[in-house]
Amino acid sequence: MRGWEFAAVHGRMDPASTAEAAHGPSLEDLGLRMCHWCVVQMCLWRVAWMCLVDFHRQSGYGGSPLGGPMTNDIRGAGAFRIGLTVAWAVTLFVAACTHGETPAVDEPGASSESVDGAWKGVAGPMVRTVGAAIPKAGDSPSLHAVASMTGAVLAGMQGRIDEGLAQGRRAVDEARRGLAPEHPARVGLLTRYASLLMAANRVDEASPIIDEALELAGRVFGRDHPISVQALNLSAARHYQSGTPEQVEADFRKALAINEKAYGPDHPTNAVLLNNLALLLTSSMRYDEAEPLYRRSLAIDEKALGPDNPNLAATLNNLAILADSMGRPAEAETLYRRSIAILVKAKGADHAEVIRNQGNLATLLFTQGKAKDACDLLKTALAAADRTLPAVDSDRGLLLIGLGDCLAELADSAGARKAYERGLDQLGSTLGPEHPYTRLGHALLAELLDSVGELEQAAEHRKLAGDIAPSELEKLVGE
């Protein structure tokens, strides 16, 4: 196996996936988790709070929405309840989504297969309550906007991307028409809409929205206010896609500095920022700088979430890749196995994150001369992939190419050839014939065919590889 580990932030891979082939790499496929739950919840809660304040103001009260004889005035009490409902629904919704579940809603096409029963019973009714409250909202543009954006985020998390983008656009338009230019709620609305655009790989459309959110956050809250952290995280993602790593690093470091100043160095919201920055440094082979950041991220999450929380698995996986790159394979194996054990316990043995991390561990075992162990693990991962992944998927393709390597090492030429050919079918259909992974698969198959005397077919695959040796293609994969 030729060293194509899946780097992850909270369980997502770095190499291209099926989605990348169709739409370009998503944010999380790039290894950058853009929506850490504390940061997002802070952002959306602030939007909902501004909505509540707006309602209170319209009801004739001054000062804080928690002041005044609310229960003595139907309009005031109703406004408070509607605003609070939105805020509470947003909080529950974000918490549910970031635990890997999406609140259920009784709408056609809404998927609730992965919804935990508690969230189905609480978050779903709250979101429906928000929808029912909109006709009673009167002329409050902030409530209409935040309720629309909540629906947009919900649609996006359930895979209804086009619907989510359209609703997010409407929410932003409502805010621009109905809210003052420096209304605080606009920051959160812009940031959430930019997140939806980036998740859909519409970077050119997202970029001016990100800039607007950052500029407005600076004017309204100050340059170092933590509400800008999420927009900075998004800004880092767009620069990552445009190939400007120095700007990615600048965005991440600024976001981390703001967060540490606001909440302290050990606050849970710092973990994802440290992990993202470490991932960037690792990709630049700045291992000595990356390692302490990964370890800080892991320590923060362990303290905040406990040692078996699935959010730890991504950092453990990335730290294992780093340890292997630094020549510490025994430590890397321990980290991989802990990551896999956590994910199996939390998400089941057939979960896609488990499959990817098993592929990583198999790569390590193979490079340590344990081809039989690697082969057995890859067969386990592929069996799970066949039960879980789409019929055509780049993850399966990479696992099959790895299995071909292991079988070739074990002198099973027929099995290796079959694995290589199946893997190439998957990679060619998802990543395309020119992708380095696909070309490397052809080069490896050419080597195998040479070894068994099938020179003509070997020449064909070598040509498809671009007449580049596997060792040279491995460098492309590493880049």
Q: Quick one: pLDDT at residue 259?
A: 93
The distance from CA 153 to its chain's CA centroid, rounded to whole angstroms, is 14
44-103: pLDDT as tens digits: 444 444 444 444 444 333 333 333 333 333 333 444 444 444 444 444 444 444 343 333
> Which tokens is 85 given?
């409902």
DSSP string over 199-261: HTT-HHHHHHHHHHHHHHHHHHH-TT-GGGHHHHHHHHHHHHHHT-HHHHHHHHHHHHHHHHH
Please say if the pLDDT value at position 311 is more than 60: yes
Give residue 139's pLDDT.
52
Q: Which residue has the higher pLDDT, 448 or 38?
A: 448
Which two tokens mark 373? Answer: 């162990």
- DSSP letters, 321-368, are HHHHHTT-HHHHHHHHHHHHHHHHHHH-TT-HHHHHHHHHHHHHHHHT
pLDDT score of 161: 86
Q: Rounded to 5 degrees, what angle do the CA atoms 51, 188, 226 make?
A: 115
What's the whole-number mean pLDDT along residues 109-114? 34
pLDDT tens for 399-423 read 999 999 999 999 999 999 999 999 9
Q: What is the mean pLDDT of the chain?
A: 76
pLDDT band for position 346 (cuts 50, 70, 90): very high
The mean pLDDT of 100-121, rounded to a whole number, is 36
Residue 195's identity, in one-letter code, is S
b vs e for 132-155, b when ≥16 Cβ sit within 10 Å of the residue's Cβ? ebeeebeebbbbbbbbbbbbbbbb
Range of weakest confidence among 28-42, 207-221, 240-254, 444-458: 28-42
What's the pLDDT band for 471 if we cut at 50, 70, 90? low
Q: What pLDDT sits at residue 122?
A: 42
Q: Tell me, yes or no, if the pTM score tops 0.85.
A: no
Tokens encoding 13: 């891979």
Task: Retrieve residue 117's tokens.
Answer: 């029963």
Contact 135, 123 (CB under 8 A): no
Q: Does the pLDDT at position 255 exceed 80? A: yes
**CB-based contacts of 118: which residues, under 8 Å, 6+ apart?**
none
Q: What angle do CA 425, 427, 429 make, to 5 degrees?
A: 70
What domains does the chain contain, in order, with CATH numbers? 32-263 (1.25.40.10)
Decide if pLDDT at 42 tops 90. Answer: no
> Per-residue confidence at 143, pLDDT binned at 50, 70, 90?
low
Q: How confident is the model at residue 35 (pLDDT cuts 50, 70, 90)?
A: very low
Task: Give the closest residue to 256 by CA, choosing from 241, 269, 242.
Answer: 269
One-letter identity of residue 43: C
**Considering all CA atoms of the chain, what is the largest pairwise distance in Å, rounded to the nearest integer?**
91
Query: Cβ distance 412 to 439 under 8 Å?
Result: no
Question: Taking residues 202-212, what's their average pLDDT?
Answer: 94
Q: Band the pLDDT of 353: cuts 50, 70, 90.
A: very high
**CA–CA dist 366, 372 (Å, integer):** 8
Q: Measured between alpha carbons, how far is 196 from 109 in angstroms, rounded to an integer?
A: 19
Bigger pLDDT: 15 vs 458? 458
Average pLDDT (106-135) is 42
Q: What does the pLDDT read at residue 152?
A: 81
CB 343 within 8 A of CB 313: yes
Work out the percent of the chain whose per-residue pLDDT is above 70. Answer: 67
Residue 327 vs residue 136, higher pLDDT: 327
Distance of CA 132 to CAs 4, 128, 147, 238, 306, Å? 49, 6, 10, 36, 38
| pLDDT, position 473 | 53
Nearest to 362 by CA among 377, 352, 342, 381: 377
If pLDDT is split at 50, 70 and 90, which confidence band does 142 have? low
